[in-house]
Chain A
Amino acid sequence: MTLVFAGVCSHAPGIVGRAHLAEEVAKERLYKAFDSMRERLEDSRPDVLVVVAAEHFANFFMNNMPSFAIGMAESYEGPIEDPEWLGIPHTRIPGARSVSESLINEVMQGADISYAEEWKFDHGIMVPLHFLTPNFNLPVIPANINCQGPPLAPLHRVWAFGEALGAAIQKLPERVALIGTGGISHWPATPDSGKINEKWDRNFLDQWSRCDKEAMLTYTDKDSYLDAGQGAFEIRTFMTISAATGLPGTIHFYEPIPIFAVGCTIATIDLPIVNT
């Protein structure tokens, strides 16, 4: 067993970029939750961090859009956005090329994926790293699921990708940490930005925390869009973590924070303790 940590968190750019506009106490509660997630991650002593993200037209575009992609570079850079806008300075993030290659080869046993030797991180990865590896010194392997431009991979294929990813991680000798980042209900960067369907979010998080595959696979993009906005397509990243581990999880933090444009979430999978 080489998976030493798994969890999910929000990645909305406003969490850092619009922090000055947020209600101070709400922001502090979220930042504290991110801090304790970072402590849990550090305590697991990972060699590498796999981040399952849903990028926003930073590297992948409709000219050649992969449903699933995994990075295979020596290093990455980010943010691709204006650093001032995002509130995170431009930096280089170490990759783990050979680990990536092994991982990709194994994932391909169970899912058809693309790989990328070039990848500029957007807020979808930079915001989580800003909180979880603030010195940007833990080698990262990015993975991406298209959650932006339909056609989108159906959820049962997302589940298969997650299972393939989980099985591949277990074959690696390295200590691997795995996080999924995304929103639940949200209408990012639209006139509805700031609206959050808390009831919908809590229902999904309840299913996620019980690893209720059957319930999570009943979502349709049409209904998700109507009830929870186009940002809800990103439940794919959360579901990948469920599928990769097959385990329940604990929601440590959930709070709708409108200026961050999402119900901010911090949760971890209840992994068995790894002593080695």
Chain B
Amino acid sequence: MKHVLYAAAALAAFTSPSYAETIAITGGKLVVGDGSAPVDGATVVIRDGSIVAAGVGVAIPAGARQIDASGKWVTPGVFAGFTRLGLSEVDAVNGTNDKSGGKSGFSAAIDIAPAIDPFRSPFAVNRSAGVTRAVVAPEAGDNIFAGQGAIADLGADSDAVAKPRAFQFAEFGEDGAANAGGSRAGTHLHFRAMLREAQDYAAGRDNFDDDLLKAEDAKALLSVLRGETRLLIHVEGANDILRLLELKRDFPTIKMVFVGVTEGWRVAPQLAQAGVPVIASALNDLPATFEMLGATQSNIGRMKDAGVKVAIGMINDRDSHQLRYTTQYAGNLVSLEKLPNASGLSWDEAFAAISSVPADIMGVGDRYGSLKSGKAADVVVWDGDPLELSSTPTTVIIDGVEQPLGNRQQRLRDRYARPTEGDLPKAYDR
């Protein structure tokens, strides 16, 4: 019976995405998400999809539906810093995998938004794990520019894209070199030449040298060049980072964000001085490639200590399906604080690195990533410390709408809770 109810709830959510009620979450341990310490006995009030107030002693509006969070934790939803959410159902089944549009003949123009499919199962699975927003990037094809990514919400409705064309994504380092003719020299040349072509395009079609860009690509790159659209760049090695910082000096209007950044600790002062924020892989500690020789789990902690703005992302690390690892990764950085000579994050910093910091880095911190008045009501109530392995959400709210927490994995679980067949085959058990 409960499955029937779940199905009905899911259907209702999909047909009325804008419905939002007044909700008061009371008595919980409040994590604002901005790096401040949790406070006990707080109230969070939500109305019309936004946070009205969050804190101790907040008045409960008349008529509000109350959710008792006594003994529980109340946090902003996890803001997954770098993903391919909604771009694949089964990675190795090509027809379900939309990560790369590289064979389309386009590059920077590719807009991933229409490929983000909220009906794919990773939405429901990761929503029930407390992930409410995600940075969704295309994969690069045969070009250093992969195209334009989006900010998605994980709400159980038909409209997943909160902000389309939120950034441009590019590959540097080994992957970028492979896409630019086999050498990092080619990567830098392509980068400069493509931006010049975009400028030529802006100057007038007569000047447009379209060797490298189609007109649509040029338009997308112009937006990057003018600083209207962020440029997220995948880069891992210390030298590649330094050379990119030089490139940034030549193109001062471009708003760069570095992604991956396994060797960031080696050049942390330069990163901090350049003011380039980073969406780093939390636990890369193996020299998986020669651009990651210096890999260490202390990377994020050291960059943070040097003054770099760092969020946690998961580029190329099960980034379409396992956004739910984000809290575990943050927890691991906290555990480093207990190890001699290691650098991790405090608990408060670690939670900020998966909520307000990535939202700020993506330029949407005014709307997402923390529980403050006026921000979108992406709120999760957890049955324990959200970074701990034993904890799980009991309530997930996105844009003020309480979400269904069921998913297909749970249906399989319930069918096979007792594996032996009963009076009828398992196929009749639902």
Say whether A associates with B: no
